[in-house]
Structure 1
C-alpha cells in the first residue's frame, strides 16, 4: 500500500495573477512564502501558507484554457477550509465583495458551512470547526 502522510499542496492556475494574489493573500489571509517569475514560461508562481503550513501554489500562465468548475462537474469538486466562526467568515468575505451562498448545516456532522468562488470561479468552502 502507498503510505501517504498528508496533502502537501494544492496547485491553482489563475487568469489574472494580481487579482488572485490579492484574493488569496489578503481576503483569504494566506501568508506569502515565496513569489517567483519564470520568464521562460511568462508565469508567476506564488507559494502560500495556511497557519505556517505550505498549502497552495498559485500559478499564472498566458491565456489558460477555461475549465468547467461547477461543483457537480467531474474532477475536483471544491476546496474547503476549516474556520472557527462561520458568521464572522461570511461577514469578512461579504465586506470584501465576495458573495457567499446561504449558510447551511451538514446533515451528518451538524457543522455549518458555505460556498463561494475565487476570482476564476473555483468553488471554495469554509467549514466551521
Structure 2
C-alpha cells in the first residue's frame, strides 16, 4: 500500500533564518520556492535523497508547538547518515548545538539529536 514518505511539512517562525538553516547548513537542494500572497506565506520545497521532500512554510502568528517534555504528536524527524560523528562535527563547526552521540539499545546504531531554528527536534541516525 504505502511506498514511502513523500514529504514532511514544517512551519517556521523566521523564514530567512530557517531557509538558511535547511539550504545552507543542512545543504538541502531547493526544488521550488513560492510566495502565496493570499496567505502572506512562503512555501519552500526541499529535496531529500531518494525522493523525499521537506516543505518549509512561513505563516504569520503561528502558535508555538510544545516539544519538551515529550508532547503528543510527531516527536522528531530523523535523517539517515553514513557517519553520525562526521555529521555531528560538521553541525558543531557550523554553530549548531548537538547532543552527544548515543547508541540505540535495540539496534546498536549510533544516533544524536539537534534542533532547527524553531526548536524542532531533528535526529541523525546511522544507517550504514
TM-score range, shorter chain: over 0.9
Who is 1:79 aligned against? 77
Instruction: Report deviation, 1:81.
Output: 0.3
Are residues 71 and 26 of structure 1, via their aligned partners in 2, closer, same or farther at CA, if it must alter by over 3 Å? farther
Tell me which of 98, 101, 114 is aligned to 2:99.
101
* TM-score of the superposed pair, with normalisation by structure 2: 0.95
- Root-mean-square deviation (CA, aligned residues, Å) is 1.1
* TM-score of the superposed pair, with normalisation by structure 1: 0.94
CA–CA separation in structure 2 for the residues paired with 1:61 and 1:67: 14
Runs of 4+ in 1 over 4 A off after TM superposition: none
CA–CA separation in structure 2 for the residues paired with 1:98 and 1:55: 22
Q: How many residues align?
A: 127
**Which structure 2 residues correspond to residues 27-46 of structure 1 after superposition, within 5 A?**
27-46=25-44
Task: Give 3-state SS (helix, strand or coil) of 1:25's partner.
Answer: helix
Partner deviation per Cα, 1:50-89 (whole Å, 9 max, x = no partner): 1262411000011211110226211011100000011110
Gaps of 5+ in 1: none
Gaps of 5+ in 2: none
